[in-house]
Amino acid sequence: MNRQILVVEDEKPIREMITFVLEQNGFNTIEAEDYEDAKSKIVEPYPDLILLDWMLPGGTGVKLAKTLKQNEYTRSIPIIMLTARADEDDKVKGFDVGVDDYVTKPFSPKELIARIKAVIRRVSPTALEEAIEFHGMKLDPVAHRVSINERALDLGPTEFRLLHFFMTHTERVYSREQLLDNVWGTNVYVEDRTVDVHIRRLRKAIAGEGHEDFIQTVRGSGYRFSGKIKMSL
Amino acid sequence: MNRQILVVEDEKPIREMITFVLEQNGFNTIEAEDYEDAKSKIVEPYPDLILLDWMLPGGTGVKLAKTLKQNEYTRSIPIIMLTARADEDDKVKGFDVGVDDYVTKPFSPKELIARIKAVIRRVSPTALEEAIEFHGMKLDPVAHRVSINERALDLGPTEFRLLHFFMTHTERVYSREQLLDNVWGTNVYVEDRTVDVHIRRLRKAIAGEGHEDFIQTVRGSGYRFSGKIKMSL
DNA sequence: ACTTTTTGTGACAATTTTATTACACGCCTA
DNA sequence: TAGGCGTGTAATAAAATTGTCACAAAAAGT
């Protein structure tokens, strides 16, 4: 359930609502508000899926889709169109340019997530269970194994889920509450500081190879998992 | 034997008749009643064969076959089409999308089993009978024998099936429920914990040669059969 | 430098999960 | 029908995990 989704939507409230929902469901998001912005963000590493508003300023939504689907390198990125109009013609046009699915506004978060997962599953049935690698750390969700430079780690269930989350959500700060929501699950009552303890345990578990610095404390905000280790000055 | 067959058929009586016949003949079955249901059940570990009704609601039988045969990961799963109509055109279309065989309703259980075995034999000539070897352990499905470094083991039927499943599904964590589904069969009511007991019995049975560590407990998730034995520090 | 706020750490008890043992029931077979 | 298996379940023991607390350490603010 990893990877990045680019949300192209000009209306900020809607865009933020969407990204909120996505993040709640364990996806990483990138935002873009118009054609140019989107294009500048569709670079390597390419997003794993694009949510594209039909009604971009200047009606450039379809244009963008068409462009992407005609380009050799971006052709394979799945696109889900968002539209306010349940207009059949629009749908046809959308599918004509190779769009993978269609979601009509307003939509429920549940529906959106379901569609996204369906598309991802269709495009790459194994994407959700492929091993993740990050700077010499490898996490295999299927075998339920973690190794760091070929050395196997022994993690408890929670530590494993925490690391899994971090490895799929790198270079970004998460508050303790967000971590609780994502790793422990929503509607569980656990103290904020419990996160600290598990961070500590995880750090300890991966210590010895230099990678313990990957888990960074961002004072006042939370924690971040990053390959760019912070240098002392 | 002990292979999994996915039965995709919308009419419940027929579906149950088929699964009954299959289970009688030593196959494990999974059931699906429509396109979506089927798709959601075609995940790792992939079924070894799919029995697919031609006339799914919405005429999606062929569509499903086509989809599967176009996907890199599911392409190799053999598909047998079931149809009520002995229509030559349909058959041709079916073969066009890469279906492996065709069975016309009504069919006798005997015929169905025969076709299934034929397809399996064609796809993987030795799969049904060839001995499996894994790190010095040898399991012969035909002779129903297991040996470890040439020393014969004495296993009960369930232990044998469990080990057989493990030897054909290594390096991967299976929950107790998954193990129940695969080794005991779907739609059997057995306690989760029963798996523990059989794991214990199997461990005991293969003990003495170091191989008992192959069956690994993954706390909170299930069990894993692996050649990479966990080192203590 | 002193105070306040935030984070790191080690210890611990409660809880959860798994291992192990014991036992009863059903099914063959003799 | 008695005796042996093989199985599932329940009871109990053992082990691992987890959330919190108390206090130390570090950082930020005054």
Q: Check pLDDT > 50 for residue B233.
A: no
Assign A225 a pLDDT band (cuts: 50, 70, 90): very high
Q: B152: domain CATH number? A: 1.10.10.10
Total number of domains constituting chain A: 2
Percent of chain B having pLDDT more than 90?
20
Same domain, A66 and A150: no
Regarding whether B101 and B71 lie in a shared domain, the answer is yes
pLDDT score at A2: 53
Domain assignment of residue B147, given as a range = 132-225
Residues B151 and B185 in one domain: yes
The top-scoring range by mean pLDDT among A67-76, A166-175, B161-170, B194-203 is B194-203
B39 and B81 assigned to the same domain: yes
Do A86 and A194 lie in one domain? The reply is: no
Instruction: Report chain D positions within 7 A of protein CB atoms.
Output: 5-11, 16-22, 27-28
Q: Are residues B15 and B119 in the same domain?
A: yes
Q: Please tell me which residue, B208 or A53, carries the higher pLDDT value.
A: A53
Where is the domain boundary, B93, B123, B153? B123
- Considering all nucleic acid strands, name the nucleotide whose C1' atom is nearest to the C-alpha of residue B220: C17
Beta-sheet strands, E only, within B39-109:
49-53, 79-83, 101-104
Is there a domain that residue A194 lies in?
Answer: yes
Would you state the pLDDT for residue B215? 95
For residue B94, the model assigns a pLDDT of: 56
Query: Is the domain of A107 the same as that of A198?
Result: no
pLDDT greater than 90 at residue A23: no
What letters, b where the CB count within 10 A reaches 16 and e where it falls short, cover B172-189? bbbebebbbbbbbbeeee
Is pLDDT of B174 > 50? yes
Q: What pLDDT does residue A92 have?
A: 58
Phi, psi for A133 (deg, rounded to 5):
-130, 140
Res A232 pLDDT > 60: no
The reply to whether A154 touches chain B by the CB within 8 Å rule is yes
Do A19 and A39 belong together in one domain? yes
Mutation site for A-interface testing, chosen from B39, B60, B70, B169 by largest number of A Cβ within 10 Å: B39
- CATH code at B16? 3.40.50.2300
Which residue from B124, B122, B147 is spatially nearest to B136, judged by alpha carbons? Answer: B147
Residues in chain B closer than 8 A to A152 (CB atoms)? 228, 230-231
Q: Cα(A218)–Cα(B5) distance, rounded to whole angstroms?
A: 51
Contact A143 B224 (CB under 8 A): yes
Q: What is the pLDDT of residues A92-105, one digit of tens each?
A: 555 666 787 888 87
Whole-angstrom Cα distance, residue A57 to residue A20? 23
Do B11 and B107 sit in the same domain of this protein? yes
Q: Is the CB of A177 under 7 A from strand D?
A: no
Q: Report residue A26 as tokens.
A: 């364990």
A1 pLDDT band (50/70/90 cuts)? very low
Of A31-35, A157-161, B107-111, B128-132, the least confident: B128-132
Question: Could A143 and B173 be called an inter-chain contact, meaning their C-beta atoms sit closer than 8 Å?
Answer: yes
Q: Are residues B45 and B86 in the same domain?
A: yes
Better-scored residue on pLDDT, B108 or B163: B163
The sheet with strand B132-134 has its strands ordered as B132-134, B137-140, B145-148, B151-152
